Amino acid sequence: MEAEKVLHTTALRVYNGDYGSFLKTFADAYLIADMGNRKILHPAWRQLIEKYDLLKKVGGGLKL
């Protein structure tokens, strides 16, 4: 799966899951952002995914 789809899928799972309000709000912002703003949010979202080990927590065998 390409990186953009992994980031989007992770955002969906975080937004709909049992995560803190900061992560849910950031995931929501990432999901509704247009392409220009998504490019700005992309590096930060990727860092949050790594910091909180979200790929492992959301499951589904997602990999960046």
Contacts for 51-57: CB closer than 8 Å, 24+ residues apart? 52/23, 54/10, 54/14, 54/23, 55/6, 55/10
Separation CA 43–CA 20 (nearest Å): 20
> How many alpha carbons fall within 13 Å on the CB side of residue 41?
21
Q: List the structure tokens of 11.
A: 């955002």
Q: How far apart are CA 33 and CA 59, in angstroms?
A: 24
Print pLDDT tens along the chain (64 aa): 698 999 999 999 999 999 999 999 999 999 999 999 999 999 999 999 999 999 999 987 888 8
In the chain, domain spans: 3-53
